[in-house]
Structure 1
Amino acid sequence: MSLRQIRVFPDPILRKKCRTVRRVDDKVRELAQDMLETMDAAGGVGLAANQVGALQRVVTLHLPGEESGIILVNPEIRDTQGEREVIEGCLSLPGYEGMVKRSMIVKARWLDENGSKIKVTAENLFAQALEHEVDHLNGILYVDHLHEHEKLAAAGTHIAEGQPHMHDLEVELHVEHNNDDSKPSESDVEVVHSTIKFSD
């Protein structure tokens, strides 16, 4: 096993769709083991093959609290239920995070490192990670799910899950320039417009 370089946006390989794995052989297993090691070394929850330069439909996941990671070959999302807003980051966009919509429940299937068929019904972070990594295999980044008015934020600065989005706040200040107690005229009032950015 060896560490592989994680490709960082805007590397064009992140926008390429990965190819279906025809046979789970030693080369695929070697790639997957390298991905597990690379993902764990980087402190990630998931990693897709194109993030390390390989255009194959291979994903690794290591959820918090689990003793070891898992290998997913040709993962497919078969069905989804519900919707929730979650804070999401990515090893290919280091140092940033954003609020995106993900499914509450995901039904998925894949092959493991031995070629055995696996089917799961995933919830919470597991469901989120599956959607995130399958997006990667299709050349989609989580930032593609952000609305135009939403911003990336420095990692760790987002408000807690379930709270309102972080948006820029438009402020209009009325500044009075007269020095006595009389009611100011329009010429005595300066209107100042400003934008406070919460997501610098």
Structure 2
Amino acid sequence: MAIRTIVKHPSEVLETVCSPITTFDQNLGILLDDMHETMIEADGVGIAAPQVGTAVRAAIVDFREGQDRIEMLNPELVLYEGSDTDIEGCLSFPGVYGEVERYDRIKIKAQERDGSWYELEAEGYEARAILHEMDHLDGILFTSKITKFITQEELDEMIRAQEEEEEI
């Protein structure tokens, strides 16, 4: 495994509609492992292939809370409902945060690294992270969906307030 360079905005690859994955081989496994290692190193919860300079339909979400990482190859959104607005950031936009509205409950269909298909239901923060990464595969940047930008100071204050509330 290797840590790859995270592509920062502006970059053409970040706004490219990615190609479907048709070959499920060792090279794909290497890409997925490198993406995961890169995401962990950058303290992210998700990463998409274009963020490491490869315009293919591959993305990973991993909250590292005792659950397996979610590898999504050629993902498709099959069901969605509800909506929620919350703060997002992105590894390709260091220091940029904003409020984004997304579906609150989703169901996706995607392929595993061996090419087999699976379905996954998610809600809340997990659904948000999956949708954020799926947007990357269509060249859609979260900044195009921000309804209100949040400064680093505002974000830090919100985190502090939430931590204090959890202590009570």
Answer whether TM exceeds 0.5 for this pair. yes
- Alpha carbons of structure 1 residues 109 and 156: separation in structure 2 relative to 1, 3 Å: farther
2:112 pairs with 1:115: no
Q: CA RMSD in A?
A: 1.7
Structure 2 residue ranges without an equivalent (≥5): 160-168
Aligned to 1:12: 12
Aligned to 1:154: 151
- Alpha carbons of structure 1 residues 156 and 132: separation in structure 2 relative to 1, 3 Å: farther
Structure 1 residue ranges without an equivalent (≥5): 162-200
Amino acid paired to 1:117: W
Amino acid paired to 1:154: T
1:37-85 CA distance string (max 9 Å, x none): 0001101010000000001100011124135423211111112100110
- What is the CA–CA distance in structure 1 between the aligned matches of 2:37 and 2:118, rounded to whole Å? 22
Aligned residue-pair number: 158
SS of match in other structure, 1:135: helix
| Aligned positions of 1:51-70 closer than 5 A | 51-70=51-70
| Aligned positions of 1:51-200 closer than 5 A | 51-147=51-147, 150=148, 152-155=149-152, 157-158=154-155, 160=158
Moved more, 91-100 or 111-120: 111-120
- What is the CA–CA distance in structure 2 between the aligned matches of 1:97 and 1:45, rounded to whole Å? 15
- What is the CA–CA distance in structure 1 between the aligned matches of 2:152 and 2:43, rounded to whole Å? 14
Give the Å deviation of 1:156.
Answer: 5.6
Amino acid paired to 1:57: R
Give the Å deviation of 1:23.
Answer: 2.2
- What is the CA–CA distance in structure 2 between the aligned matches of 1:146 and 1:89, rounded to whole Å? 10
- Alpha carbons of structure 1 residues 34 and 156: separation in structure 2 relative to 1, 3 Å: farther
- What is the CA–CA distance in structure 2 between the aligned matches of 1:143 and 1:80, rounded to whole Å? 22
Structure 1's consecutive aligned runs of 4 or more residues displaced over 3 angstroms after TM superposition are 158-161
- What is the CA–CA distance in structure 1 between the aligned matches of 2:51 and 2:129, rounded to whole Å? 15
SS of match in other structure, 2:21: coil
- What is the CA–CA distance in structure 2 between the aligned matches of 1:29 and 1:156, rounded to whole Å? 39
Give the Å deviation of 1:28.
Answer: 0.9
- Alpha carbons of structure 1 residues 114 and 156: separation in structure 2 relative to 1, 3 Å: farther
- Alpha carbons of structure 1 residues 125 and 66: separation in structure 2 relative to 1, 3 Å: farther
